[in-house]
């Protein structure tokens, strides 16, 4: 198959990592796959490892600027155009209509990989695409019930493990370097510092832990809200306990050094961070958002709370701290097994390819009699 994966810019988020993973896997499996971006460059561009083309001749800094989009994307008569990220998906309907006007059998597949408020153009656009893929069952139900998409035109393909657990060994060196003793409890959150990721609530929740607890909160990532969160931690007297780790190209060492994954994001469809944390054996305490309960085994490897529930957050952490070493080991093993079985990259890639083949068959002309 000829497959175009369309993404606005290769910044450091989970959707961008999945655009690269899918493009690379499609190519390695013998398909003519190309990753097309609106803007050139980006933090993840050097990691692409697949054919890569940008629409802008130089980086204008404008995510929405897509010069010669249809001419470029449709020039090779691709079988599939897979739109990744909200910006690219706002062009899905236009590309599908353009393919029809040219008499092409190209099938445009839209995606929903984030929760929260999306542009109105997004919904009108994806309804004109051939199919829509979302990464959680809860998000699929929402698309059908609230936005009127036909159930038959919506598929669920979960996120893939981008950073699977390479080793179950603990990383004591990182703990020591960041001031955490072997007996300390290290809470970890990995994600971009954007308003919807809501790291500020994690800081406020932790500020209410009992004074005799030995805890640390590590926040990995970069973004516009980092400075605000640093000031909040300082104002609460937590500068020694809350550590800002910056961008991590490979967060694996953070997972191997931490004890509990914590998450307060308000807008998700399925959390890459919680999936990766599960694959490293970390139990999770997370606030409600789309798809959150699909990232762990509720009540066994993870607990979901309502947004803003500080007392519930502290109680869930206390519950995990009460586990015996044997219980912790069993919980970690169950989390690893769940993540590896549910979010195996090869299985997800094959699910995309099976969907693409089905869409292509459905658009093929009937054989003559």
Boundaries of domain holding 32: 2-160+344-363
Could you read off the pLDDT of 124-182 as tens digits, one per residue? 999 999 999 999 999 899 889 888 889 999 999 999 988 776 666 777 789 999 999 99
Kindly write down the DSSP assignment for every residue of 240-267, as one continuous string. TTEEEEE--S--HHHHHH-SEEEE--S-
CATH number at residue 230: 3.40.50.2000
pLDDT value at residue 246? 95
Tell me whether residue 368 is in a domain.
Answer: no
Q: Judge whether 209 and 215 are in contact, CB under 8 Å.
A: yes
Q: Same structural domain for residues 156 and 291?
A: no
Q: What is the pLDDT of residues 1-22, one digit of tens each?
A: 999 999 999 998 889 999 999 9
The C-alpha angle 344, 348, 351, rounded to 5 degrees, equals 145
| Cβ–Cβ < 8 Å for 245, 219 | yes
Q: What is the pLDDT of residue 365?
A: 46
Q: Strand 215-220's sheet: what is its strand order?
A: 242-246, 215-220, 185-190, 260-263, 284-287, 302-305
**354 and 333 within one domain:** no
Examine the domain organization and report whether 295 and 263 are in the same domain. yes
The Cα 369–Cα 364 span in angstroms is 15
Same domain flag for 111 and 221: no
Same domain, 178 and 301: yes
| 306 located within any domain | yes
Taking 70 as the threshold, does the pLDDT of residue 188 lie above it? yes
Same domain, 27 and 119: yes
pLDDT value of residue 368:
34
pLDDT digits (tens, 9 = 90+) for 318-357: 999 999 999 999 999 999 999 999 999 999 999 999 999 9
Both tokens of 266, joined, read 């308000």
Q: Are strands 107-112 and 131-134 parallel, antiparallel or unpaired?
A: parallel
pTM of the predicted structure, to 2 decimals = 0.88
269 closest CA partner among 150, 164, 137:
137
pLDDT digits (tens, 9 = 90+) for 42-75: 999 998 988 999 999 999 999 999 999 999 999 9
Determine, yes or no, domain membership for 167: no
Residues 79, 187 share a domain: no
Q: What's the pLDDT score for residue 325?
A: 93
Residues in the chain: 369
pLDDT at 168: 64
The Cα 272–Cα 342 span in angstroms is 13
**φ/ψ bin of 197: left (φ > 0), alpha (ψ from -120 to 50), beta (otherwise):** alpha
Please check whether residues 63 and 184 belong to one and the same domain.
no
Q: Is residue 165 part of a domain?
A: no
**How confident is the model over 267-301, as pLDDT tens digits?**
888 999 999 999 999 999 999 999 999 999 999 99
The confidence score (pLDDT) of residue 52 equals 95
Instruction: Identify the sign of the CA torsion 47, 48, 49, 53.
Output: negative
- First vs last C-alpha separation in the chain: 27
Q: Does 103 reside within a domain?
A: yes
For the chain, how many structural domains are there in total? 2
**Is 60 exceeded by the pLDDT of residue 38?**
yes
pLDDT score for 268: 85
CA distances from 299 to 251, 320, 331, 338 (A): 26, 11, 10, 14
pLDDT tens-digit map of 237-268: 999 999 999 999 889 999 999 999 999 999 88
Q: What is the mean pLDDT of the chain?
A: 92
pLDDT value for 22: 96
The CA distance from 317 to 305, in Å, is: 12
pLDDT band at 367 (very low <50, low <70, confident <90, very high): very low
Average pLDDT (27-42) is 96
Identify whether residues 32 and 82 lie together within a single domain: yes
- On whether both 197 and 145 belong to a single domain, the answer is no
Q: How far apart are CA 5 and CA 258, in angstroms?
A: 34
């Amino acid at each position: 198959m000829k497959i175009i994966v369309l993404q606005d810019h290769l910044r450091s988020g989970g959707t961008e990592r999945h655009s690269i993973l899918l493009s690379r896997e499609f190519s390695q499996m013998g398909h003519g796959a190309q990753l097309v971006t609106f803007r050139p460059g980006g933090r993840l561009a050097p990691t692409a490892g697949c054919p890569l083309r940008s629409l802008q001749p130089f980086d204008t800094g404008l995510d929405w600027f897509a010069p010669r989009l249809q001419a470029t994307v449709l020039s090779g008569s691709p079988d599939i155009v897979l739109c990744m990220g909200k910006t690219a998906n706002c062009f899905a309907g236009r590309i599908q209509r353009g393919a029809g006007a040219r008499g092409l059998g190209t099938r445009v597949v839209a995606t929903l990989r984030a929760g929260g408020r999306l542009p109105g153009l997004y919904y009108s656009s994806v309804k004109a695409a051939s199919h829509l893929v979302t990464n959680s069952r809860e998000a699929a139900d929402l698309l059908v019930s609230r936005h009127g998409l036909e159930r038959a035109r919506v598929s669920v393909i979960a996120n893939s493990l981008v950073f699977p657990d390479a080793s179950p060994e603990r990383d004591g060196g990182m703990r020591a370097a960041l001031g955490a003793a072997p007996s300390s409890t290290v809470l970890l959150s990995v994600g971009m510092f954007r308003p919807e990721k809501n790291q500020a609530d994690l800081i406020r929740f932790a500020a209410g832990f009992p004074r005799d607890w030995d805890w640390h909160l590590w926040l990995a990532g970069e973004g516009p809200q980092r400075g605000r969160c640093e000031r909040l931690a300082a104002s609460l007297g937590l500068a020694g306990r809350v550590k800002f780790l910056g961008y991590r190209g490979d967060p694996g060492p953070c997972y191997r050094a931490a004890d509990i994954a914590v998450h307060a994001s308000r807008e998700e469809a399925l959390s890459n961070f919680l999936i990766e944390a599960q694959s490293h054996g970390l139990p999770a305490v997370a606030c409600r958002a789309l798809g959150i309960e699909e990232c762990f085994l509720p009540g066994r490897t993870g607990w979901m709370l309502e947004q803003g529930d500080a007392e519930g957050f502290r109680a869930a952490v206390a519950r995990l701290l009460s586990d015996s070493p044997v219980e912790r080991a069993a919980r970690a093993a169950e989390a690893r097994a769940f993540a590896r079985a549910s979010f195996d990259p090869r299985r997800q890639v094959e699910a995309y390819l099976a969907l693409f083949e089905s869409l292509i068959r459905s658009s093929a002309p009937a054989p003559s009699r």
